[in-house]
Structures are given as structure tokens and as C-alpha cells.
Amino acid sequence: MVCGHGTRDPKGVAEFAHLVEKIRTHFATHEDWPTEHGYLEFARPVLRDGLNALRAQGVTRILAVPAMLLNAGHAKNDIPSVLNLWAQENPDVKVEYGRALGLTASMLRAASNRIADTRAAEADNGHDLPPAQTLLVTVGRGASDPDANGDIAKMNRLLQEAFGFGWALPAYSGVTFPLVEPALQHAVRLGFAKVLVFPYFLFTGRLIERIYQHTDRVAAENPAIRFVKVPYLNDQDAVVETFVERIYELLNGSPEMNCQLCKYRTALPAFEDEKGLPQVSHHHHVEGVGTDGDNTHQHTHSHTDSHEQAHGHGHEQAHKQVNEQSHEQAHKHGQEHNHSHNHSHDHSHDHSHSHSDHHPYPHADHPLGPKTLH
């Protein structure tokens, strides 16, 4: 059971139905599960219609997933209240509720795809600019829940890291701040030649139209800056993949470690070559320094030597091991869950330490970047 919000826009309703059809096809092929959907408001079928349709097909267990990008009021309160009431009225059917799509590698990939395609189209039309001369504005729905608003800011930052944009700002279509137009007006003052406006939404609707209208207004007032409207997410395969993950979670359970976006475990955009790196501490050169009053300890060994002395397993295996431990133990950083990695910079403190490996940060040469790390 795919639980949507609903929109008055017929195109948005059609896009949602098309996504549900992709999910239905997946489970018809793999599990032979009937799949229905419904909306909280503005469109039909409503949630109760979808639930009743499943019950009429003889279903006795319903896996309900919210078609929400983030965990805010609709996912946390509105949809569960409808499901709970229906379950009380239909005690012969077990209803299990999943979680919103959230920030995952697959959703980051879906967002990255939209931006990459837009940049490619810009290049084809003769408007290519280096990422460092471009500012990204990621626009979320906006909620009274700061957790969801914070996730938009995090997605915005992840996309900036992936592409190396000169600057990135989060904005919101309503409820919270900054709203779209004030955010774009602020972006203008930062002096970038191009501004990408990316609505982090699943489907079209009135809010998408308003976001683009705000963009057009600010663009008309600032003709020297190129404003580019990035398409929303829609029903990309990566989005469908995330829905499928959420549904199987209800069957199999899911570890609650905050590692879904760990660059050592998942091939994140721009950081793909760091997946599975050996779990090696890079603090060995200052181990114990400062505790005995002698801060002149010199180290000249190479990082290759430390690799040979380090654990013989990669970070992926480390995650598998800590998954068997408690959540509290797994996140004692520096112990079981040590996010260590290669470095290629020369440390400038009271020791010499050279590395031959490449710098682990893909945008180390960013004009506003960490020059002190070179």
C-alpha cells in the first residue's frame, strides 16, 4: 500500500500513479503481491479506498509505506492516524507501517542524476560553466518539523560535495524559512554567474509551479545571472529502488545504524573510490604526543607501512561486524566504528609525515576550499 499526499494537479496525480505502477510491476514479478495506493487529500483514491481494495482481494497483511521524501507531519502523524483507524475497524487484517524515503544513497543518486542531466544540457547549449562558478539552491517542501527541514539542508550539502559547486543554499516552498524568493535574492548577492534551482520534490504540482515562478521573477530582475530550473525527482529507477527497500524493511527489519550515507560503505557521487577502503587510523603520528610534555616527536614512515600494520579487513567488513553489536557500541567512534581513511597531504604540525596517495577529498582545489590541506 503506497500512501501519498495528493495534489490538485492532474499531471501530478498521473505521475504518482505511474510510479505506483512501477512498484506494482516489481512486486508482481518478484513476489506476486497486489499493490494499491491512496492519498491523504486532494485526489482519489483516498487511503481507505486502497486499503479496502487490498482487503477485497483477500489480503490479510498490508505493508504500508509513505510516499514522502522526509519524515515530517504527514509521515509521522497524518498517514498513521488513517491507518490506525482503518486497522481498528478491520481487525482481521494486519497493517504494518514503514518509514519515509529519507536520505539514502539511492535518493542522492536520483537527485544527482537530475543535476547532472541539467548540467549536460547546459553544456550542449553552450552555457557550460565550471561547478565552482555555480551556486545550487535545493528547495524542499518546508515543514513545522525541524528534523525534515534539516534533512533538506543535508541533501543540499551532499549535492554540493558531489559536484563541487561554488556555494549551496537550502530553501523551502512554505512553512519555514528561507522561502524561495528571499533565498534566491540572497543568492544573487553572492556573485555567482549561474544559479541552479532544484526542487527536491517527487512530483509536479502547484508548489513546483510556484518555485519556478519565483525563479523567473528573480531571473528577470538579474539578467546578468543565468538561472537554471532543474527538474524534480519523479519516478526514476533510483526512487523506485528506495520504495522497494522500504517495503522489504518491513519484512526483514533494518539496522538503525546511521551508516546509509557512509562513504566507506556506499559509493556516493564523487567519492566512489573510497568505498571499502581499509580501516586504518591516521592519528598514529600523534598518538601519545602532548601527554609527556614532548611535542617534537618525528615520524617519517609512509602510509603504506601503516596499512601493512593495520587491520586486515576493509570498512565494509567492519560495518558488518558492528551491525552485530548494539547501536550504542557501534557508534563509539575511534573504537569499533572508526571512520579512518587515506591522506595525501603533508602535516604541518610538529612532525613530518608524507603520503604518496591522492588527496581523499575530490574538491580539494575548490576556490573556496581547504587550501591548508594541500
**pLDDT tens per residue across span 212-242:** 999 999 999 999 999 999 999 999 999 999 9
Task: Show which of 44, 71, 97 is a domain's final residue.
Answer: 97
Mean of pLDDT values over 315-339: 40
Domain of 119, CATH number, reads 3.40.50.1400
Mean of pLDDT values over 97-114: 96
**Does the structure show a pLDDT above 80 at 70?**
yes
Task: Show which of 81, 97, 113 is a domain's final residue.
Answer: 97
User: What is the per-residue pLDDT for 200?
Assistant: 98
For 149-162, the pLDDT digits (tens) are 999 999 999 999 99
Task: Show which of 78, 97, 116 is a domain's final residue.
Answer: 97
The torsion of the CA quartet 231, 236, 238, 244, rounded to 10 degrees, works out to 130
Cell of 128: 557550460
Both 283 and 363 in one domain: the answer is yes
User: What is the per-residue pLDDT for 148?
Assistant: 93
Both 177 and 145 in one domain: the answer is yes
Please indicate, yes or no, if residue 58 is contained in any of the structural domains: yes
For 136-185, the pLDDT digits (tens) are 999 999 998 999 999 999 999 999 999 999 999 999 999 999 999 999 99
Both 199 and 303 in one domain: the answer is no
| Range list of β-strands (E), the chain | 2-4, 37-39, 61-66, 94-97, 134-140, 167-172, 194-199, 226-229
User: What is the per-residue pLDDT for 273?
Assistant: 87
Query: 253-291 as b/e, with b when 16 or more CB fall inside 10 Å?
Result: eeeebebbbbbbbbebbbbeebbbbbbbebebbbeebee
Please indicate, yes or no, if residue 169 is contained in any of the structural domains: yes
Please indicate, yes or no, if residue 241 is contained in any of the structural domains: no
For 256-301, the pLDDT digits (tens) are 555 667 777 788 888 888 888 875 544 445 444 554 555 444 444 4
**Does the structure show a pLDDT above 80 at 336?**
no
State the Cα–Cα distance between residues 23 and 214, nearest whole angstrom: 34
Mean of pLDDT values over 295-315: 42
How many structural domains does the chain have?
3
Both 57 and 14 in one domain: the answer is yes
**Does the structure show a pLDDT above 60 at 338?**
no
Please indicate, yes or no, if residue 78 is contained in any of the structural domains: yes
Mean of pLDDT values over 326-348: 40
State the Cα–Cα distance between residues 165 and 167, nearest whole angstrom: 5
User: What is the per-residue pLDDT for 344?
Assistant: 41
Mean of pLDDT values over 12-17: 97
User: What is the per-residue pLDDT for 122?
Assistant: 98
Mean of pLDDT values over 299-317: 42
User: What is the per-residue pLDDT for 264?
Assistant: 75
Please indicate, yes or no, if residue 236 is contained in any of the structural domains: no
Please indicate, yes or no, if residue 253 is contained in any of the structural domains: no
User: What is the per-residue pLDDT for 366?
Assistant: 80
Give the domain extent around 337: 262-374
**Amino acid letter, 311:** H
Both 145 and 110 in one domain: the answer is yes
User: What is the per-residue pLDDT for 270?
Assistant: 86
What size, in residues, is the chain? 374
User: What is the per-residue pLDDT for 325?
Assistant: 39
Q: Tell me what the pLDDT averaged over the chain comes to.
A: 82
Both 201 and 314 in one domain: the answer is no
Ranked by mean pLDDT, the top range of 21-35, 291-305, 346-360 is 21-35
Residues above pLDDT 90, as percent of the chain: 66
Both 61 and 151 in one domain: the answer is no
User: What is the per-residue pLDDT for 292?
Assistant: 53
User: What is the per-residue pLDDT for 302?
Assistant: 41
Both 57 and 92 in one domain: the answer is yes
Please indicate, yes or no, if residue 248 is contained in any of the structural domains: no
